[in-house]
Amino acid sequence: MIETQRHGTVLTIRIGNPPVNALSEDVRRGIYQAIDAAQSDDGVSAIVIHGAGRMFSAGADITEFGKPLAEPGLAVVIDAIEASAKPVVAAIHGSALGGGLEVALGAHYRVATASAKLGLPEVALGLLPGAGGTQRLPRLVGIPAALDMIVSGSPISGTKALDIGLVDKVVPEASLVEDAIAYAATLDAPRPTGTRAVSFEGGEFERFAEQNARKIKGLDAPQACIEAVRAATSLPLAEGQEKERSLFHTLMGGAQSKALRHAFFAERAAAKIDGLPKDVALRPIEKVGVIGAGTMGGGISMNFLSAGIPVTIVEMVQEALDRGTGLMRKNYEATAAKGRMTSAQVEGALALLTPTLDFNALSECDLIIEAVYENMDVKKEIFARLDGIAKPGAILASNTSYLSVDEIAQATKRPEDVVGLHFFSPANIMKLVEVVRGEKTAPDVLATGMATARKIGKVPVVSGVCFGFIGNRMLDPRLEGAMEMLLEGATPDQIDRVSVAFGMPMGPLQMIDLAGVDIGWHRDPTRIESLRDALNAVGRWGQKAGGGFYDYDEKRRHLPSPVASGIIDDYRAKAGVTPRAISDEEIMVRTMHVMVNEGAKILSEGIAQRSSDVDVVWIYGYGWPRHTGGPMFWAEQVGLAKIVADLERYADRLGEGFSLSPLLAEAARSGRSLDEARAG
C-alpha cells in the first residue's frame, strides 16, 4: 500500500492502492507511520508524497463511509504531514480529489502535471471536505477561488492550479517524481498553510450565495460548505477544523448524502453487464453513420463530432439535410457564445461531418444509428436496406424510444449486429443512453454500444426489450395519472407543482408541453376522444406552438392559460365529469408511486438488471433529483410498505389498467429491498 524509498536525503512515500489510491485504513496508517519515522531519521531532509499508477489519489475510501472509522483518521494524518519538521512536497499526476487534495494541502509544497485534475468533489456526494480542505484551501488561494472549487465540486487543471497559487510548479509527467525530489532537496524548511491568515472582503459570502442560489437551493451540502469556509475567516485552523468536522458528520448522517453516495455507486454499477464475459473484445468504431437529420439525429451526431469521431448523416431531401446541419451549427455556436467551445473547436467538429442524400455512403461506417420517426414499417424498411449495404461487422443501431428492437432486427439477416441506442432529448446534452439488448444482440455488440456511449461522455444503462424500455415505460403511468387528474378536477399548475416541489425540473404536463401535446395524435381535429385531442384540435400542440396546457412568454416561462382551462372545463362538462378537489398526496401517488410500481415490474421481468439502473435512467434521462437517489432508492427510503399502502389507498382511482407489482408487494411484505426480493 505504502512504499518508501530514499533518494539521497529525500524520502519518497508512494501511495499504491489501485485502482484510484483511495485513502483506506492501511494507506492512512502507512503514511502516518512513514511521516512519523522520518522525523527522527537524521538522514532525511525532505519528503515527497506521490501516487502509483493512474493518479495521486481520489480521496477518502467511500466504501468505508457509514462504518465505524478506523484510526488514524484522515485529518490526523494530514495534521501530521503539516506538522512535519521536514518539508513535505506533494507530487500530483492524474487526479488529486477530495481527501487526496487535502493530503496535498497538508503538504508544504505542491508540484503537479499540467493535465492533473485537482478538486474537492465531496459536495457531489452530499458532503464537504472533512479533512481540513475547507480551512486550508481558502488560506492558500483566497475565498472566491476556494468557494468556487468547494461548492461546485469541479476539478481544475494543474495549469489553472498554478495560476491561482494552489501549486508551486508545473512539471512534465515523465519526470514528475524526479523533479519533485530535486525540488525537495533544495528546500530548507516547511511552509505550513495552516498558520496563514485568510484574506477576506466583506460581502463575499452573501454575493456567492446569491449568485448560486438556484443551483444550491434545497441542498444541504453546498450550504454547509459555505458555512465551513466562512469559519476559516474567523477561526484558527484547529477550531475551524472542528467546525468542519461537525458539519461533515451532520451531512454524513443525513438523507441527501446517503442518496448521493447511492447515485455515485449506481452510476458505476450500471456499467456492469450481467452474463457478459469481462474480456469481450470491442468492435472498433472509427466512423459513424446517422440516418435522419431531425432534432434527434442532429443531436446524436454532435456527440460523436465533439468526441472527434467522423459522422456521415443521411437525409431523404436536401432541404431537411440543410435544416438539420444548420441547426447543428447553431447549437455549436450557442455553446461557443457561452465560452464553452472555441470557434476553432466548432469548425473542427463540423469539419468531421459529411451530410449526404446518398444512403450508400453509409457502407463505410462502423456504427450506423437510425433516428427517424417512430414507425415500425419505416424502421423495418430502413434496416432491410441497411442490411444490403452496411459492411460486415458494422453495428446497426436504432434510436427508437418505444418500439421492439427484436422486430426491427428481424428485418435484417444479421440480428446479432442490431442493438438499440436510445438517446434522450436534447441528445447533445442529456447524458443518458439506454442500450437496448435485443434477444439476439451479440455480446460484443452490446459491450461496444456501452463503451461507445461512454466514449462520447454519456451514461449508458442496459435495458431489455419492452414497450418504452425502462424510462418511457415508467413515464407512461405518470403522464396518464396527470391527464386523468386533470379531467377529474385538478389544474395543470397544481399537478406540476407537486413534482417541482419534490425536485423534478418540471411536472408531467410541462413535460408534455415541451415534447409536444400532439405526439401520437391522429391529426383529425373533428375526432375528439380525449383531453389531448381537444387541445390539439385547436392547435395547442405545446411550447412549439406557443401553448398547450400552459401559455408561454417570450422567455419560455409557463403561465396559466385561460384558453386551456376553458377547453378543459368544456371537455369535462361534455364527459359528464363533476370536478372534485384533489389533494397533493393523491397527486404524489398517481404521478410518482405509480412509477415505482412500474419500475418494480421492469425489475421482475428482467428488463433492468438491478434497481439502481432504474435510478440512473431517471436521474440522467429525466432530471430526477439526484439527492433523492432515483425513484427506486427514494421508494426504499420512504419504505416500500408505505408506498404499497398508499397505492392501495388510492387503488380505485388508479384506473383499470393498474395492477400492483407482485415483486413490490412481496418486498414490502417481507421488508427486503427490491433486488433482494427479486433474487428470492
Residues that bind ligand 3HC (CB under 6 A): 19-20, 22, 58-63, 74, 95, 97-99, 102, 121-122, 125, 127, 129-131, 133, 268
Question: What is the Cα Rg of the chain in Å?
Answer: 28
Q: How far is the CB of 20 from ligand 3HC (least distance, A)?
A: 4
Cis amide linkage into residue 72, ω under 30° from 0: yes
| DSSP H or E stretch at residue 4 | strand 2-7
Is the alpha carbon torsion for 369, 375, 376, 379 positive or negative?
negative
Strands (E), 46-105: 46-51, 88-92, 95-97
Residue nearer to ligand 3HC on the CB measure, 221 or 677: 221
CA distance 117 to 156: 6
Q: How far is the CB of 334 from ligand 3HC (least distance, A)?
A: 28
Sheet of 109-112, strand order: 2-7, 10-15, 46-51, 88-92, 109-112, 169-170
Residue nearer to ligand 3HC on the CB measure, 244 or 586: 244
Residue nearer to ligand 3HC on the CB measure, 101 or 504: 101
Shortest CA distance to 512 belongs to which of 538, 484, 548?
548
Shortest CA distance to 487 belongs to which of 585, 597, 590, 559?
590
Up-side HSE of residue 133: CA atoms within 13 Å toward CB?
35
CA distance 354 to 121: 39
Residue nearer to ligand 3HC on the CB measure, 125 or 531: 125
Residue nearer to ligand 3HC on the CB measure, 128 or 486: 128
How far is residue 452 from each of residues 307, 355, 443, 609, measured CA to CA in Å? 10, 22, 14, 20
Name the amino acid, one letter, at 597: N
CA distance 478 to 593: 9
Contact status, residue 476 vs residue 506, Cβ threshold 8 Å: no
| DSSP H or E stretch at residue 664 | helix 662-670
Q: How far is the CB of 224 from ligand 3HC (least distance, A)?
A: 12
Shortest CA distance to 180 belongs to which of 372, 270, 47?
47
Q: How far is the CB of 129 from ligand 3HC (least distance, A)?
A: 4
Name the amino acid, one letter, at 469: F
CA distance 57 to 610: 30
| DSSP H or E stretch at residue 356 | strand 353-356
For residue 658, count other CB atoms closer than 10 A to its CB.
18
Residue nearer to ligand 3HC on the CB measure, 261 or 379: 261
Q: How far is the CB of 464 from ligand 3HC (least distance, A)?
A: 22
Residue nearer to ligand 3HC on the CB measure, 60 or 644: 60
Catalytic residue among 102, 267, 370, 666: 102
Q: How far is the CB of 423 from ligand 3HC (least distance, A)?
A: 21
Q: Residue 8, by phi and psi: left (phi above 0), alpha (psi -120 to 50) or beta?
A: left
Residue nearer to ligand 3HC on the CB measure, 272 or 527: 272
Residue 122 annotated among the catalytic residues of the structure = yes
For residue 69, count other CB atoms closer than 10 A to its CB.
11
Q: How far is the CB of 460 from ligand 3HC (least distance, A)?
A: 13
How far is residue 659 from each of residues 50, 501, 609, measured CA to CA in Å? 57, 27, 22
Q: Which residues contact 226 (CB under 8 A, 6 or more apart)?
A: 147, 151, 205, 208, 209
Contact status, residue 590 vs residue 489, Cβ threshold 8 Å: no
Q: How far is the CB of 134 from ligand 3HC (least distance, A)?
A: 9
Contact status, residue 110 vs residue 90, Cβ threshold 8 Å: yes
Name the amino acid, one letter, at 532: R
What is the DSSP secondary-structure string of 246-271?
HHHHHHHHSHHHHHHHHHHHHHHHTT
Residue nearer to ligand 3HC on the CB measure, 65 or 650: 65
Q: How far is the CB of 105 from ligand 3HC (least distance, A)?
A: 11
Catalytic residue among 3, 71, 82, 122: 122
Q: How far is the CB of 88 from ligand 3HC (least distance, A)?
A: 19
Residue 102 annotated among the catalytic residues of the structure = yes
- When CB distances to ligand 3HC are compared, the closest residue is 98
Shortest CA distance to 630 belongs to which of 270, 376, 252, 307?
270
Residue nearer to ligand 3HC on the CB measure, 118 or 587: 118
How many Å separate Cα 658 from the centre of its chain? Answer: 31
Q: Alpha helices, DSSP H only, in 338-442?
A: 343-351, 376-389, 405-410
Q: How far is the CB of 121 from ligand 3HC (least distance, A)?
A: 4
Residue nearer to ligand 3HC on the CB measure, 129 or 599: 129
Residue nearer to ligand 3HC on the CB measure, 156 or 372: 156
Q: How far is the CB of 61 from ligand 3HC (least distance, A)?
A: 4
How far is residue 479 from each of residues 389, 442, 489, 493, measured CA to CA in Å? 40, 34, 16, 14
| DSSP H or E stretch at residue 291 | strand 288-291
List, by residue number, the catalytic residues: 102, 122
